[in-house]
Amino acid sequence: MPKPAAGQARRRSTRATLIDAVRLIEALRHAHPEATCALQHDNAFELVVATILSAQCTDRRVNEVTPALFRRYPNAAALAAAQPAEVEGLIRPTGFFRAKTRSLIGCAQALVRDHGGEVPNSMAALVQLPGVGRKTANVVLGHAFGISEGIAVDTHVLRVANRLGLAQAVDPAEVERQLMAALPKDLWAFVSDVLIFHGRKVCAARRPACDGCPVFSLCAWPDREAFAFGTTGKATRAMRREPQPSGEPPSASSAPRRR
């Protein structure tokens, strides 16, 4: 039998990878039907604000802070005119509150000045806003506008995507590129949500619950069996080699790192 041409082999390999990735994400969807954006919001403006606040902070803590913040500043115009000290007092529990306040007020002022107070629905415009980077823009586009331009890669997504075998990279931008190549566009907005849920509920950083993992048989992590059967010496050593996101928490004298 003649061997397939090189191009045919590449297409077949890419197709197989796509099918495997979709199968894994669909299995996670079935295991975590509640997976959605954990940041509570009613509109695009609130989602931008909540996502900026979530830098170096848990979504749970952000959700505790934002109700009072949104009551006081319900739109971009109100936040643009805010006194920094008042905003700082409201968001202090999220950490790095001075830097985040500068980003929030600066973002609101840019929205009023350049977009009539409305959140734009394009990647190019969003990443020009203070405190907004590609990750935040992906969250806003996917959940506020239903637009898939990319995949938001946070700490959970970086860890879980590498463990499962959906990606193999340390750099979040490269993980995003690999996930986009492995999954159809209609899954891009959802994949972050479900990987985050799986990372929080099952695939934890220090002690993943491999023995109860719903996608154990599909997972490519070499040390999953060690955690499943309690022989974690080797696995613990291997975890030190796992990719970790680069970057540092924002300092008090700088704006939060773009997400």
Tens of pLDDT, residues 98-156: 999 999 999 999 999 999 999 999 999 999 999 999 999 999 999 999 999 999 999 99
Q: From the CB of residue 234, how many other CB atoms can be counted at a distance below 10 Å?
A: 13
Residue 3 annotated as catalytic: no
Q: From the CB of residue 104, how many other CB atoms can be counted at a distance below 10 Å?
A: 29
- The average pLDDT across 68-93 equals 98
Active-site pick, 59, 100, 154, 193 = 154
What DSSP line would sit under 113-151, residue for residue?
HHHTTSPP-SHHHHTTSTT--HHHHHHHHHHHS---S--
Residue 114 annotated as catalytic: no
Which tokens is 200 given? Answer: 């929080």
- Per-residue model confidence (pLDDT) at position 13: 42
- The average pLDDT across 201-213 equals 94
DSSP code at position 39: S
Which tokens is 221 given? Answer: 């992590």
Angle made by CA atoms 247, 253, 258, in degrees to the nearest 5: 40
Which domains are present in the chain? 44-144 (1.10.340.30), 155-239 (1.10.1670.10)
In Å, how far from its chain's centre is CA 33? 18
Active-site pick, 59, 100, 135, 223 = 135
The pTM of the full predicted model, rounded to 2 decimals, is 0.80
Asked whether the predicted pLDDT for residue 67 surpasses 60, the reply is yes
